[in-house]
Amino acid sequence: MNDALTSLNGTHELVWSLLEAGPKSKAATANLVVLATSSIENGPSARIVVLRHVDRVSGILRVFTHAASQKVADLNEDERAEIMIWDPVEQLQIRLTVNIEVSHVDSETWSRLGPGTRLNYAVDPTPGTPIEAPENARQATPEASQMLCLNARVLSIETLHITSDGLSRAVFQDGTSQWIAP
Ligand SMILES: Cc1cc2nc3c(=O)[nH]c(=O)nc-3n(C[C@H](O)[C@H](O)[C@H](O)COP(=O)(O)O)c2cc1C
């Protein structure tokens, strides 16, 4: 077992190091994360997204998405969301409570994106439109206006660590940390 997970401080440090490693490698635990949103009409909605940038100082995680996607509509209605991560090596579940601000991609970010990444956010017709068959969705010319940044501000972190001795669960919020019953 990772010794870091036996203390609250060590657990907090490990969480942020896992998050920071996410955007740097496709093999990293926090490269793909589950983002859950909700809306009154559709209820809860969860999907996998790529973590593109993590800034521990500001506590902001960044994801890219298509401007016409359902998650953007959800977030325009309710900025509250959750991000879930499972680390099979550490046997650690990480639950992040976040508020998400939606913003346009600035020209510097857009210019740094590879053509493959840009194409991920260019589809015709727009995401979610009913079509006869998969081939009826065409690759459109990427446009910066179709791509949005989801800037997720971390409000609290909850961890659940599974060991052969049992479960340990902790909450980190507003600079405080606390073990809680699993
Ligand atoms: C491996 C993987 C990575 C994905 N990465 C993203 C992503 O970074 N951004 C995104 O908007 N959708 C991504 N998706 C697609 C979403 O899971 C989802 O299907 C899509 O965004 C539509 O979701 P929505 O209708 O709830 O908005 C990814 C899917 C997979 C399987």
Q: What is the CATH number of the domain that holds 35?
A: 2.30.110.10
Question: Would you say the CB of residue 69 lies under 6 angstroms from ligand 1?
Answer: yes
Distance, in Å, from the CA atom of 25 to the CA atom of 29, rounded to the nearest integer, reads: 9
pTM listed for this prediction: 0.94
Distance, in Å, from the CA atom of 160 to the CA atom of 45, rounded to the nearest integer, reads: 22
The predicted-structure confidence for 126-142, as pLDDT tens digits, reads as follows 888 888 888 888 777 77
Q: Is residue 90 situated within a structural domain? A: yes
- Cα(47) to centroid of ligand 1, in Å? 6
Domain count along the chain = 1
Q: Is residue 128 situated within a structural domain? A: no
Q: Which atom of ligand 1 is nearest to the CA of 66?
A: 11
Q: Is residue 38 situated within a structural domain? A: yes
**Above pLDDT 70, what percent of the chain?**
100
pLDDT computed for residue 114 by the predictor: 81
Q: Is residue 77 situated within a structural domain? A: yes
What size, in residues, is the chain?
182
